[in-house]
Amino acid sequence: MSTLEKLFSLEGKTVVVTGGAQGIGKVVATKMAEVGADIVIFDLQEEKAKEAAKEIHESTGKRTAAYGLDVTNPAQVKEMIAKADEDMQGLDLLFNNAGIVIQKSAYDVTPEEWTKVINVNLNGEYYVAAEFARYLKGKGKKGAICNTASMSGHIVNWPQEQASYNASKAGVIQMTKSLAVEYCKDGIRVNCISPGYMYTDLTCHVNPEWQERWMDMTPYGRYGQPEELCGAVIYLLSDSASFTSGTDLVIDGCFTAV
């Protein structure tokens, strides 16, 4: 193994990926398996999660498992982490990636819609991160967590109106910093990534006029690809980031720089 491979190897580690059945989660999970990790997928879409896990196993040869999970249910989060631990003989790292968006004016969004977004994006990420940290501490293990925030936690997206999403992702950034400070004494690192406009199955169907405006506002003039997030997540979860915690890594093609 070369020095470069050693720097970013996840060999011997088992990574839990929430929201790993499709999109960014699946792409990053696949790449982490390619650099040595065994993969556990948690997703509300259980069958789709199992299909993704099977594909990753077949393409990389790494051990995989998949479970249905509602991240807004703390009791279920605890149960599934315990089950995955038993099935995989231990867990080491977490890519905390489940999330949703509702694009609706603050004049019109209902309390139920607001609560749904906050519950998944902020509360759900907290429930999973906190339970995973409790698991690590209980096992006497060091580990790392990478949460998924968004550039929307730094700026207000336009022309789409999505106050609930923006607020939830700003909360994830501050939560990440807070947990990083609390957990450092136990050897548990916590960081997050803040992607910009990424080309996924969801964004490619958005209003074309919005897409054109987004690209005009992005200095790189294009979408990011999910594959362009993999290196950041792998770094933040790898031993190369042993002194990196409480960091939000913005990956947005300079959108927030101008």
Considering the candidates 165, 183, 197, 223, report the single residue annotated as catalytic: 165
Catalytic residue among 150, 194, 238, 245: 150
Catalytic residue among 67, 169, 197, 238: 169
Q: Is position 169 annotated as part of the catalytic site? A: yes
Supply 97's token pair.
Answer: 């990636």
Q: DSSP assignment, residue 53?
A: H
The DSSP element (H or E) to which 34 belongs, if any, is: helix 23-34
User: How distant, in Å, are the alpha carbons of 48, 119, 133, 168, 256 from that of 108?
Assistant: 32, 19, 37, 18, 28
Report how far apart, in Å, the C-alpha atoms of 174 and of each of 34, 147, 181, 196, 254 are. 31, 11, 11, 18, 21
Helix (H, G, I), strand (E, B) or coil at 99: coil
Instruction: Please answer whether residues 93 and 15 qualify as being in contact, where contact means their C-beta atoms are separated by less than 8 angstroms.
Output: yes
Phi, psi of 225 (to 5 degrees): -100, 145
Give the C-alpha separation, 240 to 258, whole Å.
Answer: 30
Give residues with Cβ within 8 angstroms of 185, minimum separation 6.
Answer: none
Report the C-alpha gap between 234 and 241 in whole angstroms.
9
Residues classed as catalytic: 150, 165, 169
